[in-house]
Amino acid sequence: MNGDLEAKEPEKAIRNLYIETYGCAMNFADSEVVASIMSDKGFRTTQNLAEADVVFMNTCSIRDNAEAHVWGRIKEMKPYKRSNPGLIIGVLGCMAERLKTQFLEKEQIIDIVVGPDAYRDIPQLITQVEEGQKAVNVLLSREETYAEITPVRLSSNGVTAFISIMRGCDNMCSFCVVPFTRGRERSRASESILKEARDLYEVGYKEVTLLGQNVDSYREEDADGNVICNFAQLLEKVAQIASDLRIRFSSSHPKDITDEVLYTIKKYDNICNYIHYPIQSGNSRVLKLMNRTYDREWLEMRLAKIREVLPDCGISTDIIAGFCSETEEEHQDTLSLFKEAKFNFAFMYQYSERPGTLAARRYADDVPVDVKHRRLSEIIAIQSKNSIELNHLEIGKTHIVLIEGFSKRSEDDLRGRNDKSQVVIFPREHYQKGQYVKVLIERVTQTSLIGKVVEEVKF
Ligand code: SAM
Ligand code: SF4
Ligand code: F3S
C-alpha cells in the first residue's frame, strides 16, 4: 500500500536540508535519523543555511539557557524567511515536545513542530506545510526505536559513530525534564544494533558509542517478557564484531551499573576502560530529594568496585550545584566527594528549574543565583586540579590511541583518544585517521596528553 503511494508521487528535484542540533549525543544521533528520513524524500543535507529549502532545529530543554539559545536562534532565522518565503522552518526534539504548539503561537516563522518519537511523520508534515497549513506531531510512543533506519552520518570524521540502543527514561529524577520530553524507556532490538555496528565497521569506522539515558537498564525481551539480552550481553556481542572496533557507552546510572558489565569491560580489550558515571551530588539528603535512589555510601562503594575490577578505568561525571534547599555543608559533601573520587572529567552545571518536573512542583528553587555560581566555581576548581594531576600521572607512559583527525590547533598534529577517553595530541608524520598508534606521553595540559608515536598498532 505504502509502496503504491510512493510510486505515484511525482519525482521532485533534490532539495536542501539544513539541520542544527543542540543538547546531548542522543539528539545528535536523532538528527542523523532525521537526515536519513529526509534523504529518502529527496533532501540532501547542506552546511549552508542560505541555500536551505528546509531548516530544522533539533532542540534541548535540559536547562533554561539551552532553551533561551534556541529562541535567540529562531530570531536570527527571520531574515532568511523574509528573503525566501518558501523556506520551511521546523523545531524538533525535546523543546518541541515540551512546548508543543506554543512555538506556533509565539513565533510566526515556525511551520513545523515535531517531537522525538514522531520523526517518521516528517515527510507528511512537510506536505501539509506545502499545502499552506502549520504542522505538529508531538505524540510520544512506547515502541519507537527507529531500529531499521540507517542514520546519515552528519559531520562525521569517518572513524567514530554513535548508535542509539534505547530511548526515553523511566527514572523520574526530580530535577530532570527528559522523561517528559522523551517518554517511556524502551530498548532497541539487539540484532539491529549489531547490524548497524557491523555496517559501520565495514565502511571503515573504528569506534562506536552505544547511547542511552541509562544504558544499564537496556533489556531486550522475548514475547513473554523474559530478558534475552541485557546490557552486559549486548556489550559482549558488539565487542565480538572485530577486535579493532572500539566500544564506548554512555550514560551509566550509578544505581544500575552491574558487576557483570564491569567484568565484561575487563574481558574485552576493545571495550574502553571508561565509564561516564553521573553522580549529581555528594550528599545523601540532596540525592534523596533528587530521587536518584542511591546515597553517598552507595556511590563510594560502587566507585571502589569499579576501581577494584578496572584499576585503570577513566571515570567522568555530571554534577548539579545549588539544587533546591542544598546547604553549605551539603555542598561541602560534593566537594569532598570530588576530592576523593578524582574523576578524569566532569560536566558541571548550576541547577536550573524545569517546569513540570517533580522538583519544580514540590521544592523551592531557593539557592540564590550568586551562591549557585560560587558553588559551581568551587567544584570546577577542584575538578581542574584533579584533571591536571591525573593527566600528569600519564607522563612517561604509552597509550594506544585511535586517530580521529587533525588537532584543533594545527594540521601538523593529529588528535585521538586513548581508551580512558583522554585526548592525545602528537605530530602528524605519515599517520592517518582511523589508524591505531602507540603514543609515548611527554607533557600534558588540563585537557590533553601530548607526545609522539613510538609504534603503529596492528590487530
Ligand atoms: N541520564 C543521565 C543520568 O542519569 O545521569 C543524564 C542525562 S541529562 C541529559 C545530562 C545532565 O544534565 C544530567 O546528568 C544533569 O547533571 C544535568 N541536568 C539535568 N537536569 C538539570 C537541571 N534541571 N539543571 C541543571 N542540570 C541538569
Ligand atoms: Fe534525567 Fe534521571 Fe533519566 Fe538521567 S536518569 S535522563 S537525569 S530522569
Ligand atoms: Fe538530550 Fe537535552 Fe533532550 S540533554 S534528551 S536533548 S533535553
The pLDDT score that the predictor gives to residue 3 is 40
List the Cα angle 97/102/104 in 5-degree steps: 105
The pLDDT score that the predictor gives to residue 4 is 42
**230-233 CB contacts, 8 Å cutoff, 24+ apart:** 230/258, 230/260, 231/258, 231/261, 232/258, 232/260, 232/261, 232/263, 232/264, 233/190
How many Å is the Cα radius of gyration of the chain?
Answer: 23
Torsion over CA of 62, 316, 160 and 186, rounded to 10 degrees?
-50
Separation of CA 64 and ligand 3 centre (Å) = 12
Q: Which amino acid residue places its CA nearest to atom 1 of ligand 3?
A: 24
The pLDDT score that the predictor gives to residue 11 is 52
Write down how long the chain is.
Answer: 459
Torsion over CA of 66, 93, 209 and 201, rounded to 10 degrees?
-140
The pLDDT score that the predictor gives to residue 378 is 98
Cell numbers standing for residue 178: 527528559
Separation of CA 386 and ligand 3 centre (Å) = 28
Measured between alpha carbons, how far is 212 from 163 in angstroms, rounded to an integer? Answer: 9
423-427 vs 413-417, strand pairing mode: antiparallel
Separation of CA 180 and ligand 3 centre (Å) = 11
Report the CATH number of the 15-137 domain.
3.40.50.12160
Residue by residue, pLDDT tens for the chain (459 residues) are 344 444 445 555 789 999 999 999 999 999 999 999 999 999 999 999 999 999 999 999 999 999 999 999 999 999 999 999 999 999 999 999 999 999 999 999 999 999 999 999 999 999 999 999 999 999 999 999 999 999 999 988 999 999 999 999 999 999 999 999 999 999 999 999 999 999 999 999 999 999 999 999 999 999 999 999 999 999 999 999 999 999 999 999 999 999 999 999 999 999 999 999 999 999 999 999 999 999 999 999 999 999 999 999 999 999 999 999 999 999 999 999 999 999 999 999 999 999 999 999 999 999 999 999 999 999 999 999 999 999 999 999 999 999 999 999 999 999 999 999 999 999 999 999 999 999 999 999 999 999 999 999 988
Ligand 1 surroundings by CB, under 6 angstroms: 24, 62-63, 175-176, 178, 213-214, 251, 253, 278, 280, 318, 320, 349, 351-352, 354
Measured between alpha carbons, how far is 201 from 203 in angstroms, rounded to an integer? Answer: 5
Q: Which-ligand-closest: CA of 182?
A: 3
- First-last CA distance in the chain: 48
State if residue 357 touches ligand 2 by the CB under 6 angstroms criterion: no
The pLDDT score that the predictor gives to residue 6 is 46
pLDDT tens for residues 127-151? 999 999 999 999 999 999 999 999 9
- Chain centroid to CA 224: 32
Measured between alpha carbons, how far is 111 from 134 in angstroms, rounded to an integer? Answer: 5
Cell numbers standing for residue 12: 521532485
Measured between alpha carbons, how far is 211 from 24 in angstroms, rounded to an integer? Answer: 10
- By the 10 Å C-beta count (0-12 exposed, 13-18 middle, 19+ buried), 332 is classed as middle
**15-137 and 398-456 share one fold:** no
**Which atom of ligand 2 lies nearest, measured to the CA of 182?**
6
The pLDDT score that the predictor gives to residue 13 is 74
**Which atom of ligand 3 lies nearest, measured to the CA of 25?**
1
pTM of the model: 0.95
**Which atom of ligand 3 lies nearest, measured to the CA of 66?**
2
Q: Which amino acid residue places its CA nearest to atom 2 of ligand 2?
A: 173
Which of 30, 31, 60, 97 most suits a substitution to test ligand 3, by most atoms within 8 Å of the C-beta?
60
Domain ranges across the chain = 15-137, 398-456
The pLDDT score that the predictor gives to residue 158 is 96
- The CATH H-level (homologous superfamily) assignment of domain 398-456 is Nucleic acid-binding proteins (2.40.50.140)
Q: Is 183 helix (H, G, I), strand (E, B) or coil?
A: coil
Which of 94, 172, 173 most suits a substitution to test ligand 2, by most atoms within 8 Å of the C-beta?
173
State if residue 24 touches ligand 3 by the CB under 6 angstroms criterion: yes
Element containing residue 122 per DSSP (H, E): helix 122-130
The pLDDT score that the predictor gives to residue 2 is 40
CA–CA distance from 368 to each of 245, 303, 306, 318, 375 (Å)?
A: 47, 32, 36, 21, 11
The pLDDT score that the predictor gives to residue 12 is 58
The pLDDT score that the predictor gives to residue 155 is 81
Measured between alpha carbons, how far is 185 from 380 in angstroms, rounded to an integer? Answer: 32
**Which atom of ligand 3 lies nearest, measured to the CA of 59?**
6
The pLDDT score that the predictor gives to residue 395 is 98
Element containing residue 73 per DSSP (H, E): helix 64-83
Q: Is the dihedral of CA 429, 435, 439, 445 positive or negative?
A: positive
